[in-house]
């Protein structure tokens, strides 16, 4: 059966192209002939390399999104923002404290936040950006780290911020402080690392390196594994992939 392709007009950097309405902006640009060597990475909404700004007909709003996730829309007028300049507060993690004063010193502009919430509205990952900035202002580094966990560093929040905050880098500092000074040390991991360093697993690793593919399959199937809680309907139908 013949599939009908519905073409729609989009404007990339001011030039009009007719593209199928089933494509993401990234695929539509490739359909139009662009070869993406910048502004393209994972294609899965994770790396943050493909920020775009666009307007739609009959709307005054500047919209933002990720080219690999946003769908092409009729009359879309767009520009690619593969990189947005962010300020980075240079620091030595061993010499800074998990305290609000660290943010005052490295990112004083954070305290000029006017709580307009534009950052949150422009986040393609639906992160409560303004909330984590306010958490930093309150000195609540744990909440700042947790709320910002899904940030992909596309910089779209910074592109719209009237206080010119580099949110993504502020969030990284919060997570670095959280990870290095607030989270309890994983004792079992430290013990395991000691055992690795002492050579406890060398013999087993040597055997694995020498094993042929059939032996490796056998060992893989017999391995100690965590219980599989995958719902039945999602489970693979066979283990042929082993």
Chain residues that interact with ligand FES, rule: CB under 6 A: 40-43, 45-50, 66, 68, 152
Is 82 or 89 the residue whose CB approaches ligand FES more closely?
Answer: 82
Tokens of 208: 């694995």
Q: In this complex, which beta carbon is closest to ligand FES, that of residue 147 or of residue 153?
A: 153
Question: Please, which residue, 89 or 124, has the CB nearer to ligand FES?
Answer: 124
Nearest residue (CB) to ligand FES, 29 versus 66: 66
- Beta carbon of residue 72, minimum distance to ligand FES (angstroms, whole number): 14
Taking CB atoms within 8 Å and a gap of at least 24, the contacts of 22-29 are 23/71, 23/72, 24/67, 24/68, 24/69, 24/70, 24/71, 24/72, 25/52, 25/54, 25/65, 25/67, 25/68, 25/70, 25/71, 25/72, 25/76, 25/78, 26/50, 26/67, 26/68, 28/72, 29/67, 29/80
Q: How far is the CB of 197 from ligand FES (least distance, A)?
A: 36
Question: Minimum distance from CB of 25 to ligand FES (Å)?
Answer: 10
State the nearest-atom distance from the C-beta of 187 to ligand FES, in Å: 36
Selection from 115, 122, 179, 109 nearest residue 151 by Cα = 122
CA 10 – CA 207 distance, rounded (Å): 58
Q: How far is the CB of 32 from ligand FES (least distance, A)?
A: 17
C-beta closer to ligand FES: residue 42 or 216: 42
């Amino acid at each position: 059966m013949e599939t009908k392709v519905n073409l729609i007009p989009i404007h990339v950097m001011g030039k009009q192209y007719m593209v199928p309405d089933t494509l993401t902006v990234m695929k539509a640009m490739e359909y139009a002939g662009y070869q993406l060597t910048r502004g393209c990475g994972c294609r899965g909404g994770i790396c943050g390399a493909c920020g775009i700004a666009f307007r739609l007909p009959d709307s005054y709003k500047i919209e933002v999104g990720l080219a690999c996730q946003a769908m092409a829309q009729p009359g879309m007028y767009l520009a690619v923002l593969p990189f947005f300049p962010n300020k980075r507060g240079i620091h030595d993690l061993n010499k800074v404290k998990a305290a609000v004063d660290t943010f005052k010193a490295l990112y004083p502009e954070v305290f000029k936040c006017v709580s307009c919430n534009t950052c949150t509205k422009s986040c393609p990952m639906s992160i409560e950006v303004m909330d984590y900035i306010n958490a930093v202002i309150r000195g609540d580094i744990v909440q700042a780290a947790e709320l910002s966990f899904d940030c992909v560093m596309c910089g779209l929040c910074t592109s719209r911020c009237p206080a010119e905050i580099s949110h993504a880098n502020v969030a990284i500092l919060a997570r670095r402080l959280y990870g290095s000074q607030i989270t309890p040390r994983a004792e079992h991991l430290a013990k395991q690392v000691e055992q690795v360093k002492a050579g406890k697993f060398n013999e087993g690793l040597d055997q694995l390196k020498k094993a042929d593919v059939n032996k490796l399959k056998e060992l893989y199937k017999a391995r100690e594994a965590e219980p599989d809680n995958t719902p039945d309907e999602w489970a693979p139908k066979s283990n042929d992939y082993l």
